[in-house]
Amino acid sequence: MATSSPSAVRPSRAWTSLHWLIEAIPTALVLGLLGGVLYFGHHNGWKLPKFASLFGGLPGDAEKSKDWCDEHSVPESICVECKTDLLPKGKPFGWCKIHGVMECPEHHPELYQRKGEPRLPQYDTAAAVALLPRPENNSKSTLHQVRLQFTSEESVAKTGVDIAVVEEAPMEDYLEAHGEITFDPTHVAHLASRVPGTLTRVLAALGDRVEAGQVLALVDAAAVGQAKSQLLTAVSNLQLAEKNVERLEAIKDGIGKKQLQEAQSALQSAQIDCLTAQQALVNLGFEVPEGIEDRDPRELAGELRLLGLPTDIAASLTGQTKTANLIPIIAPQAGTIVETDVVAGEVIDTQKVLFTVADPERMWLMLHVAQEFAPYVRAGLEVEFTTDDGGQHGRSKIDWISPAIDAQTRMLHGRVSLDNRDGKLRDTTFADARVILRHEAKAVVVPKEAVHSTGDGHVVFIRDKNYFDEKSPKLFHVRQVRLGAKSDTHVEILAGALPEEWVAGKGSAALLAQLLRSQLGDGCGHHHH
């Protein structure tokens, strides 16, 4: 038995009203035309050509003896529709509310048209029917009651009908959506200088892989020099105030109380100034060394001059510069420089983004789903996507769905986190996506051409299980079917046909013509509706 891989059997939405309306138009036109011709012919004494004459003519002796059933296109002596005692019909089971078909073989396996044990679907077809709006059948239709009979196996061959098997193959129900692939914004850093200044050195370029804490550039900013100078002054003043208090406390018996209080107040003020000056440097991103209050101001000045610079960069600057104005631009995370537009010597302000560092291994696909599909979309569903920049394919799961519809676009937004360790996905590329609502590994399927729209539903033609028995009538049973997912070549049958039954495939339009002819009559007043 042939099966199809998921890639070979790629489904389509296959259930929007418009989609099915478009599909049904050709059949509806044929029915309308045929009905009009028959009505006109009926009132003007026309006769339809005998169905058998369309496919190789009547057997000579049948023509001579007039042993011919015009309505059912077989010799009258063997017509099971006219002579019901030749092959009595089983009791009717009627309408299946669960699957939406007449005579449901899943609930009544005795309808199975293969010899041996009936093969039932290996999945919950009722749940699949209920998952989405499916094309519906008319519960008042009588087409399923007709048995299409042929004189012989040869006459079937003459009609050009090919027989296919009802198979099991992978199928999917999905929704179509669009989206944009971007860097995970929680792992994107836009780096600017905290103070205006001049770029003195650029140490990283576009596309460079950088580590957290790596210096990317140096900016010469007067505000940095001022902050360092203020700290040095504050340290110096603090040390003087401390010495003054110590000196006065040593001789407090010989001085007035007020003089000592004033010195202690000046010490507190110097401590506050020192803390304020330290905080100014911390605010600029510098890490101020501990215990600076006790350091020699001249020694401290040398250390503060190259504050925040790694040893190797500081060593490369020794002797070249005496400036204390340098502030480093530091990567806050590991990643790749995906944007930069800077040159050494450029004057910059705090608004200019100098570097954008992103983690290209972590991407998001932001999905945009049409509002009418919102009830079917939830976190955890699989998404298959293809990018528009050379067709990168991928598959992942929805990890977030917006609780609201976008007021302007009337779209539902969702997020799919993507693993991009192979580096094939690029930022700000568009993608076509499929939200997989259901994946069925063993869906019951038939070739597309086996399914026919009759205006009040869909039917297939199932070959009788005794077809090859010598004395058995050559019959096809009309089965109302409920359609599910679709691919380029196959249609899922959620009800109405069972695995391993034989179905009329290519050329089965001939059976549809005979079915409609038997229902509309042959111009002699036969009419079953």
89-113 pLDDT tens trace: 888 999 999 999 999 999 999 999 9
pTM recorded for the entire structure: 0.71
| Residues 329, 325: Cα–Cα separation, whole Å | 13
Amino acid 129: pLDDT: 97
| Residues 288, 263: Cα–Cα separation, whole Å | 27
**Which region holds residue 519: left if phi is over 0, alpha if psi is between -120 and 50, else beta?**
alpha
CA 57 to each of CA 157, 291, 497, 522: distance values in angstroms, whole numbers, following the listed order = 13, 112, 32, 17
**Is the Cα torsion angle 15, 16, 22, 24 positive or negative in sign?**
positive
Q: Which of the residues in the chain have pLDDT under 50?
A: 1-24, 30, 37-49, 51-59, 62, 64, 522-529
Amino acid 17: pLDDT: 40
Amino acid 482: pLDDT: 98
Q: What is the pLDDT of residues 463-497, one digit of tens each?
A: 999 999 998 999 999 999 999 999 999 999 999 99
Spell out the residues 6+ positions from residue 512 whose beta carbon is closer than 8 angstroms to its own.
452, 454, 459, 461
Helix%, strand%, coil% for the chain, nearest 5: 30, 30, 40
Amino acid 36: pLDDT: 54
DSSP symbols for 473-514: -EEEEEEE-EEEEE-SSEEEEEES--TT-EEE-TTTHHHHHH
* Structure-derived torsion over alpha carbons of residues 442, 443, 447, 448, reported in degrees to the nearest 10: -150
Count of beta carbons in the 10 Å neighbourhood of residue 441: 12
| Residues 484, 124: Cα–Cα separation, whole Å | 12
| Residues 231, 295: Cα–Cα separation, whole Å | 12
Amino acid 310: pLDDT: 86
Amino acid 283: pLDDT: 94
Amino acid 7: pLDDT: 34
Could you list the beta-strand ranges (E) of 79-128: 95-96, 101-102
| Residues 160, 126: Cα–Cα separation, whole Å | 35
| Residues 494, 481: Cα–Cα separation, whole Å | 7
Task: Record the tokens describing residue 476, joined without a space.
Answer: 């096809």
Spell out the residues 6+ positions from residue 266 whose beta carbon is closer than 8 angstroms to its own.
241, 244
Amino acid 320: pLDDT: 59
| Residues 207, 135: Cα–Cα separation, whole Å | 53
| Residues 105, 143: Cα–Cα separation, whole Å | 16
